[in-house]
Structure 1
């Protein structure tokens, strides 16, 4: 997969802000590249130059995917953790990490697990797992009626990651003062090439159909 980001700077903007503007745009492009890489690594379609993403290609990679078909709760995710443990992919819940959408956090943090205790489903989950990371790039936005989301669980057995991303060199930044020379403009183009492979599908578990209502 080749990822490209291009920004155009006008002569007026450069005169008003000088070098600081170009540096700010470079930082913005770096953030945009990171976001797009996340999308490609996890949600890539496998077509049109995109890699087959970890979530999109779960069936192809042999990653177990289970439809929770119910409200998001620690119990629904705990079942996936148990599958990890019985398959000897994880020794205990603390060895499992989760990748979730912010909307899941909002729903589970508002759902009281035991009436009158103030203990939420989110608190129960985070107390057991080894880590939880939130993302808006690596998992698709909730959809459907009621809205549903997915969670990707992972563990690194023996310290080996289940997914590898190959970056072919650093980000190439091309500074082009010629293409827009007539108007005194400047183009900045960032280009990077990456590949994705799932090395250990048994260390990944996808839970879908987690309802947020």
Structure 2
């Protein structure tokens, strides 16, 4: 049984000095103007060298600028997200062009919290081809020999495969000519973080709710064989219903690895004021980092009324290549605005569906 994939190291070995030296704007300007003016190519020599090194790990490379994983390592990693940044319009970029721009005090958009990686999901970097991971579905069974000289019963392990194929997430932003020319270096990180943040939220949510259709990976909630205990009797689960999710996983011998609950903020607030047993003064969730003895993650990625529990080290998120940036200077060429499109190919797989439980109030 062969894994049909060659895994490459998608980090190119950038030092802290290299990361501080890297300029997103220089790379973009080289892509826009480099064909006509070699000065832009010379200025972005380091960025283009880094892109070329990262491109070696990118399957079906399309010729865009690749941001190395070294520059993305701090991220946990949506129909397409769009945002237009211009230097002359309030809220769209003018705040980045000023005599005294406090870049260190930049106020970012409030995004849903990404939690899969922090809960222990396994990240596979630098995938190249389609992936087949062999899985044992049942093992040999031991038995007693009833008579002296008798034979052991025959039993064999059974196997199948988990398949992973790249699905592509994308986002784009638009930056004006003045913003490229006038903004401080902080704009590099602002634009890059806007794109990577949008993709991170999309990928994280797909790990929970991806449909497996329309170009999406299949998330935990739709995995065949996942534990689905009896629906919560009300919008706020009881202590017994919370524990039942853990028990369902334990019955399948899957209560191991990095276990945790995931719920949305409103439910978390309700559990803080819901007693485990009436008149005891002990509440289901005390607001700490654990629930029922397991990690807890709270995020608006989760639909109201839903709750997940499981061994998140059995969740695999595979990445094909690095984040690929394509620069489009033509769509809005009359105004000088440049569109920057980001693509990231990923897939989601679950080693054992019974390692997870999913429940809600059935509404």
**Same fold judged by TM-score > 0.5?**
yes
C-alpha contact (below 8 Å) 1:65/1:206 kept by paired residues: yes
> For 2:209 and 2:250, how far apart are their aligned partners in 1?
26
Deviations along 1:147-203, one digit per CA (max 9) or x if unpaired, are xx11111126xxxx3222221111112233344333111221110111122220121
> For 1:96 and 1:20, how far apart are their aligned partners in 2?
38
Higher alpha-carbon deviation: 198-207 or 171-180: 171-180
After the TM superposition, which residues 62-77 of structure 1 pair with which residues of structure 2 at under 5 Å, given as runs? 62-66=225-229, 67-70=231-234, 71-77=236-242
Deviations along 1:118-159, one digit per CA (max 9) or x if unpaired, are 43221399353220111222x22x2xxxxxx11111126xxx
The alpha-carbon distance between structure 1 residues 174 and 95, as it changes in their structure 2 partners (threshold 3 A), is: closer
Q: Among residues 155, 179, 184, which one is paired with 2:311 in the alignment?
A: 155
The alpha-carbon distance between structure 1 residues 210 and 75, as it changes in their structure 2 partners (threshold 3 A), is: farther
Q: Report what 1:7 is aligned to.
A: 173
After the TM superposition, which residues 34-49 of structure 1 pair with which residues of structure 2 at under 5 Å, given as runs? 34-49=200-215
Q: CA deviation at 1:18?
A: 4.5
C-alpha contact (below 8 Å) 2:319/2:346 kept by paired residues: yes
Higher alpha-carbon deviation: 27-36 or 103-112: 103-112
Structure with greater Cα Rg? 2
Q: Which segments of 5 or more consecutive residues in structure 1 lack a partner in the other structure?
A: 143-148
C-alpha contact (below 8 Å) 1:96/1:129 kept by paired residues: no
How many residues are treated as equivalent by the alignment?
Answer: 194
Structure (1 or 2) with the greater helix fraction: 1
Q: Which segments of 5 or more consecutive residues in structure 2 lack a partner in the other structure?
A: 1-166
Instruction: Tell me how large the CA RMSD over aligned residues is.
Output: 2.6
After the TM superposition, which residues 13-28 of structure 1 pair with which residues of structure 2 at under 5 Å, given as runs? 13-28=179-194
> For 2:287 and 2:328, how far apart are their aligned partners in 1?
53
> For 2:362 and 2:293, how far apart are their aligned partners in 1?
18
Q: CA deviation at 1:40?
A: 1.9
- Alignment pair present for 1:87 and 2:252: yes
The alpha-carbon distance between structure 1 residues 15 and 117, as it changes in their structure 2 partners (threshold 3 A), is: farther
C-alpha contact (below 8 Å) 2:261/2:291 kept by paired residues: no
Q: Among residues 41, 54, 58, which one is paired with 2:220 in the alignment?
A: 54
> For 1:95 and 1:210, how far apart are their aligned partners in 2?
27
> For 1:180 and 1:19, how far apart are their aligned partners in 2?
23
Q: CA deviation at 1:13?
A: 3.2
- Greater RCO (CA < 8 Å, at least 6 residues apart): 1
C-alpha contact (below 8 Å) 1:64/1:205 kept by paired residues: yes
- Alignment pair present for 1:98 and 2:261: yes
> For 1:124 and 1:114, how far apart are their aligned partners in 2?
17
- Alignment pair present for 1:184 and 2:314: no
C-alpha contact (below 8 Å) 1:155/1:203 kept by paired residues: yes
**TM-score, structure 1 length as denominator?**
0.79
> For 1:33 and 1:95, how far apart are their aligned partners in 2?
25
> For 1:97 and 1:111, how far apart are their aligned partners in 2?
20
Q: Report what 2:128 is aligned to.
A: none
